[in-house]
Structure 1
């Protein structure tokens, strides 16, 4: 329930210039697509990959070995309605979304075609706000003017997380030896964090010991973890 007197926060999609080099942050903001109506629901998915060696013993099973973690994917539906505004069509708003699916002019000029990076923003939400790329966009027009001009549309977006931190890289100082802090988000686990930081999922014990954690798979979102430098893993 919204707080009394609180103003409605509108969701928006920020379209940014893609990174110029591997591991870099996205570039300048190209556009901000503000939603006419806030979404009714958001779907966030994340997968992990496990490897299991078959057991030769009947009725027995081997323990799964953590291999790696996939990116987050956010699915959101955008409703557009030109009859609720002074717009004569929804096509201009649809075109704004389509620009996130094609290479930017700057990337084409450098002969390194790359589509923009995007970030969904809605208030202070963190688990659904991350830098990514638009992996899928579908548009369903549902109302037309007498001349065929589309007046209403539902746009389904899928944003796939595009991480810029490489394993063993300290994004704060650039030093592999310095300790740093990591704020836990939904879906995080110590093996996943160890893979991202050190390139070795089995090194999760180093992070666990530094933070007095017993269960590597149960982390509370919002908790700040101390991540030891790579020299402490050796």
Structure 2
């Protein structure tokens, strides 16, 4: 499909984040943002619902189903890597970056609470495929090798299972490719608290304050919707 005039190609990436500090909290700070060399050519999204029926002996027809609940989303994709034209001549470094999402984070190990990172696929303004989750499976298929055995091409297969209650997505009014979340203020919220949940660092509250023109970080009006930008959008950010 041709790109519309005046539009830049959005590059997909996998955001790898610290797991939540506690049950029900949001992911912590960003560990790595792995930019894809090529955008995926296919995404597979599934979501299940659970229904329950109570058999009725005397009924001529089956009983009406009763809705029990909705299951998490699951996203499957393939990431193609090609090092035939790169200086290092190997795809292993990029494979290792993706595999960071499969092992406990150093921060969780230091706290003696081993936990793998949370991840999120970021691709332009896509919302249905951009959610907080965990990498449930990861495999690599190497398809081309150099004379010394270095892998030159690989296809990585990833499956992401939804883990968060909220559905993050590109904020359409932010004007930024990296702004991915909004937060609705509830009683007791403060910017340092929100910065801790979002970035794993309460001292980053100024990033949120500047994005929303807030003067007092301790006074937030319940019901207000705040834009929570990525740290790389902030002055001096990653």
Residue 184 of structure 2 is aligned to residue 172 of structure 1 = yes
1:14/1:121 contact within 8 Å kept: yes
C-alpha separation between the residues in 2 aligned to 1:174 and 1:164?
16
Q: 1:125-140 maps to which residues of 2 (within 5 A)?
A: 125-140=126-141
2:119/2:134 contact within 8 Å kept: yes
Q: TM-score scaled by structure 1?
A: 0.69
Residue 172 of structure 1 deviates from its aligned partner by 3.2
Counterpart position of 2:111: 110
Secondary structure (helix, strand or coil) at the match of 1:71 reads strand
Residue 137 of structure 1 deviates from its aligned partner by 0.4
Q: TM-score scaled by structure 2?
A: 0.68
2:83/2:90 contact within 8 Å kept: yes
Counterpart position of 2:159: 158
C-alpha separation between the residues in 2 aligned to 1:114 and 1:86?
34
Secondary structure (helix, strand or coil) at the match of 2:93 reads helix
Counterpart position of 1:43: 44
Give RMSD over aligned pairs.
1.4
C-alpha separation between the residues in 2 aligned to 1:135 and 1:113?
16
Q: 1:204-223 maps to which residues of 2 (within 5 A)?
A: none
Q: 1:7-86 maps to which residues of 2 (within 5 A)?
A: 7-57=8-58, 59-86=60-87
Which runs of 5 or more residues in structure 1 are unaligned? 166-170, 176-234
Q: Which runs of 4 or more aligned residues in structure 1 lie more than 2 Å from their structure 2 counterparts after TM superposition?
A: 84-87, 171-175
Secondary structure (helix, strand or coil) at the match of 2:38 reads coil
1:24/1:164 contact within 8 Å kept: no
C-alpha separation between the residues in 1 aligned to 2:117 and 2:155?
22
C-alpha separation between the residues in 2 aligned to 1:164 and 1:24?
9
Q: 1:88-107 maps to which residues of 2 (within 5 A)?
A: 88-107=89-108
C-alpha separation between the residues in 1 aligned to 2:123 and 2:101?
19
